[in-house]
């Protein structure tokens, strides 16, 4: 995601992207790009750096050495590199500016404003082109990380929130989902490629659909009256959690569970619980629009950022065998929070790192570690402070086996003689 604010200084350009299993982070700037892996919360483990181009897009395929980049100087050209060997595998040029690049083990997707190109990963050649797509100036699209359900999602309209699901292997449309009344702002597949989360430009409701029949199986409410800009959506690896970041200071984490299991933190005790129960019982007698609001679930947990209004991208991963919420922001920092899967509430920030890899200043550490939200202050909580020195540096279990497999895959691709277009 391009984190530069509208009208911002181009010299402060930052592009960030998590890989498909959220075990690494790629950061592109005007001076090149860096790739970090998440083996510990204590530091960002830099595994590759390149300073030859001014990067506008950088994407990594899982834990392999395959990296796709687009530069500011050549915004219509995609280059694919073997990062460890510092060799270019291939290059492709397109008719317009490249807005987004997505990859999995089967396909590489290049999104332009009004067309989408589908490449096969075996030879990186174009296998299909979707032409005359609805205007998509932000390059909004998603590719399932699961190659068994290799599905592509993109806006079916620039006026309403239609989602087009396209089979990127059999090269045919699967279904069009009327997800929202307003235009889409964010979409994301889960790790199995069987669910898709959507948010509109209004930003109050987030929905989850099954991709095969378009049924809405979850509906979450981020807020009632405050419309926001949703920047990103992301599922956990087990598809139990969904996080959403926006232009507010709050990252919402929703739990995809049975409504009966959700009862404990959706129905508080006391007069508030009684009031809520009374309204739910009377919902059958209310207009359908009002009933829908009562049936929408609120967030399971929240993570508080030390700012609002800045572009950011979020993700959920496992580091040191603990669920973490990750937020990379336009302020140049990556924020890491603990996520307790069993207890709802506010996530604790355990660490922050500069996206350029340099250590943060002690003054900023102190100011962030002592922050807390208004809600926490009302509860009488103490400012959150943590000591992450006791954490063990272990590999992300989601990425370790994939790294072994795809290191071989990328080497094999690099050995093939692929013509440069």
pLDDT single digits (tens) 382-413? 444 333 333 333 333 333 333 333 344 444 44
- What domain range includes position 277? 266-293
Task: Tell me: pLDDT of 24 over 90.
Answer: yes
Q: Give a yes or no: residue 381 inside a domain.
A: no
Lowest mean pLDDT among 137-141, 211-215, 285-289, 327-331: 285-289
Q: Give a yes or no: residue 326 inside a domain.
A: no
Q: Give a yes or no: residue 279 inside a domain.
A: yes
Number of other residues whose CB lies within 10 A of the CB of residue 1 = 19
Q: Give a yes or no: residue 64 inside a domain.
A: no
pLDDT digits (tens, 9 = 90+) for 264-285: 444 444 554 454 455 445 544 5
Q: Give a yes or no: residue 276 inside a domain.
A: yes
Residue 3, pLDDT score: 81
Q: Of 171, 19, 36, which Cα lies nearest the Cα of 101? A: 19
State how far the Cα of 82 lies from the Cα of 309, in Å rounded to an integer.
36
Q: Give a yes or no: residue 283 inside a domain.
A: yes
| Maximum Cα–Cα distance across the chain | 71
pLDDT digits (tens, 9 = 90+) for 60-111: 999 999 999 999 999 999 999 999 998 999 999 999 999 999 999 999 999 9
Alpha-carbon distances of 42 from 318, 353, 364, rounded to whole Å = 14, 9, 16
Task: Tell me: pLDDT of 371 over 60.
Answer: no
Number of domains, the chain = 1
Per the prediction, the chain carries an average pLDDT of 82
pLDDT, mean of residues 8-29: 87
Number of other residues whose CB lies within 10 A of the CB of residue 207 = 20
Q: Give a yes or no: residue 375 inside a domain.
A: no
State how far the Cα of 49 lies from the Cα of 72, in Å rounded to an integer.
18
Q: Give a yes or no: residue 131 inside a domain.
A: no
């Amino acid at each position: 995601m391009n984190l530069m604010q509208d009208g911002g200084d181009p010299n402060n350009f930052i592009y960030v992207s998590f890989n498909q299993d959220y075990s690494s982070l790629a950061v592109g700037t005007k001076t090149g790009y860096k790739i970090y892996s998440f083996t510990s919360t204590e530091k960002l483990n830099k595994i590759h750096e390149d300073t030859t181009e001014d990067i506008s897009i950088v994407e990594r395929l899982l834990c392999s050495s395959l990296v796709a980049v687009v530069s500011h100087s050549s915004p219509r050209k995609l280059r694919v590199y073997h990062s460890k060997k510092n060799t270019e595998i291939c290059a492709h040029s397109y008719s317009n500016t490249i807005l987004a690049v997505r990859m999995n083990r089967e396909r590489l997707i290049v999104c332009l404003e009004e067309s989408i190109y589908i490449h096969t990963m075996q030879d990186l050649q174009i296998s299909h082109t979707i032409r005359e797509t609805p205007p998509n100036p932000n390059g909004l699209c998603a590719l399932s990380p699961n190659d068994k359900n290799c599905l592509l999602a993109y806006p079916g309209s620039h006026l309403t929130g239609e989602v087009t699901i396209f089979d990127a292997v059999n090269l045919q449309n699967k279904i069009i989902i009327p997800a929202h009344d307003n235009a889409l702002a964010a979409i994301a597949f889960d790790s199995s490629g069987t669910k898709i989360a959507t948010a509109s430009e209004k930003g109050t409701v987030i929905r989850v659909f099954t991709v095969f029949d378009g049924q809405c199986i979850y509906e979450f409410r981020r807020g009632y009256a405050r419309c926001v800009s949703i920047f990103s959506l992301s599922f956990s690896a087990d598809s139990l959690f969904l996080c959403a970041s926006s232009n507010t200071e709050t990252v919402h984490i929703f739990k995809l569970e049975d409504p009966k299991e959700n009862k404990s933190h959706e129905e508080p005790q006391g007069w508030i619980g009684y009031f809520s129960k009374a309204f739910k019982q009377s919902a059958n007698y209310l207009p359908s629009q009002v009933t829908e609001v009562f049936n929408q679930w609120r967030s399971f947990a929240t993570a508080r950022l030390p700012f609002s209004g800045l572009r950011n991208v979020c993700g959920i991963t496992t580091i040191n065998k603990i669920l973490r919420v990750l937020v990379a922001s336009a302020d140049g920092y990556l924020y890491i929070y603990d996520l307790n899967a069993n207890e709802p509430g506010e996530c604790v920030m355990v660490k922050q790192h500069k996206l350029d890899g340099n250590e943060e200043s002690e003054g900023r550490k102190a100011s962030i570690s002592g922050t807390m939200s208004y809600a926490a202050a009302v509860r009488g909580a103490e400012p959150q402070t943590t000591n992450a020195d006791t954490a063990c540096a272990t590999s992300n279990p989601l990425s370790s086996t994939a790294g072994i497999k795809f290191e071989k895959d990328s080497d094999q691709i690099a050995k093939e003689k692929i013509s440069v277009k």
